[in-house]
Amino acid sequence: VGSFDVLRPAFLKAKEAGLKITLHLGEVPSNVPENPSLLSIYPDRLGHATVLDDASRAKIYARNLPVEVCMTSNVLCQTVKDYGEHHLKELLEQRHPFALCVRVFMCSLSSEYAIAASTFSLSKSQVFEASVQTIDSIFADEGVKAQLRKEWAGWWDEHRHEN
């Protein structure tokens, strides 16, 4: 486990070549000192962002950087006390872009959405909107994103009135 600065040239070269970059940042308290260095390369998306210093939080919000959120992973790894104290609450309150994700903890994406809905009292419409807004942060061209939005809208038109 070394310093991100060793990898910085490779990430900068990838960015120069037009590749999109997701960096895992602030996953555990010991990672906080590395946050400024990671943010300095202007990643396109962040994984976790669970433990943040005020300056990093401000940069993330100012840049509107989407955050990949793994609620069950964070709870099981004890980077958050419980679901109710998960930083997804802040992301929702700030209307900040995020994507619910899963890791290798034998949970499904559907269960993560159910946990988020239950924990933060999200309506069916809010859960759907949380899903739709992730399309903006995928690493695909606008044509692919438009097609996905169309498919999501079709699904919603068909299922919105189901219980």
| Tokens standing for residue 52 | 């943040």
Q: Would you state the pLDDT for residue 28?
A: 87
pLDDT tens for 83-126 read: 999 999 999 999 999 999 998 778 899 999 999 999 999 999 99
55 neighbors 36 (Cβ within 8 angstroms):
yes
Tokens 């930083």 correspond to 87
Question: Measured between alpha carbons, how far is 49 from 54 in angstroms, rounded to an integer?
Answer: 12
Active site residue 142: no
Class of residue 55 by CB neighbours under 10 A (exposed 0-12, middle 13-18, buried 19+) = exposed
Catalytic hit among 16, 27, 112, 151: 27
Query: Please, what is the end-to-end C-alpha distance for the chain in angstroms?
Result: 48
Q: Would you state the pLDDT for residue 72?
A: 94
User: Residue 154 has what DSSP assignment?
Assistant: H
Question: Measured between alpha carbons, how far is 114 from 120 in angstroms, rounded to an integer?
Answer: 10
Q: Would you state the pLDDT for residue 140?
A: 97
pLDDT tens for 8-52 read: 999 999 999 999 999 999 988 888 999 999 999 999 999 999 999
Largest CA distance in the chain: 53
**Any idea which architecture 4-123 has in CATH?**
Alpha-Beta Barrel (3.20)
Q: Would you state the pLDDT for residue 39?
A: 97
Record the pTM.
Answer: 0.92
User: Residue 56 has what DSSP assignment?
Assistant: H
Question: Which residues make Cβ contacts (< 8 Å) with residue 13, sequence separation at least 6?
Answer: none
Residue 1 confidence (pLDDT) above 80: no
Residue 23, φ and ψ in degrees, nearest 5: -120, 135
Question: Measured between alpha carbons, how far is 93 from 57 in angstroms, rounded to an integer?
Answer: 14
> pLDDT: is 65 or 28 the higher one?
65
Task: List the domain boundaries for the chain.
Answer: 4-123
pLDDT tens for 125-159 read: 999 999 999 999 999 999 999 999 999 999 999 99
